[in-house]
Amino acid sequence: FTGSAFGSAAIWQYESLKSRVQTYFEEARADWMDKMRPQKRGDFRKQVNSWWNNLTEGQRTVTGIIAANVFVFCLWRLPGMRRIMFTYFTSNPSSRALCSPMLLSTFSHFSLFHMAANMYVLWSFSSSIVSLLGCEQFIAVYLSAGVISTFVSYVAKMAMGRFEPSLGA
């Protein structure tokens, strides 16, 4: 998984750079008429765009991760989703589904405080680590760390003979 994550991140990084270079040259060739497009309407949309544009690249990257964690947290609160959530979003070495929960349980949290604390810490170092690694490599590190820590949890549970499900990485 880790090799695939970092290989995919390298391809993503290359494609992003290629796209930025192409966009730069396309804008340089653009007609002055192309730049005179009507302005978008809506104050809320302008506020969201302003907020988003003021974020660092790291904060934008982590915003997506936080949104995924909040979405999974909300799914845990839906009674009709409990069975699916226990099957795929908790790690348990005795479960039928072993591989997908290794990744998906990374996004599960037991309580709002647990999730808020984890997301605050992630947000606090996101700018520096993403500027060091780049957003693609950071996401590969994040996902790989979740899978590896779940694997270590599997090994520890098997060694101790405990086979109860757990949340998180």
Label each residue of the chain as H, E or C.
Answer: CHHHHHHHHHHHHHHHHHHHHHHHHHHHHCCCCCCCCCCCCCHHHHHHHHHHHHCCHHHHHHHHHHHHHHHHHHHHCCHHHHHHHHHHCCECCCCCCCHHHHHHHHHCCCCHHHHHHHHHHHHHHHHHHHHHHCHHHHHHHHHHHHHHHHHHHHHHHHHHCCCCCECCC
The pTM score is 0.77
User: Which tens digits make up the pLDDT trace of 74-102?
Assistant: 999 999 998 998 888 888 887 777 788 88
pLDDT in tens, 97-146: 778 888 898 899 888 998 999 899 999 988 899 889 888 999 999 999 99
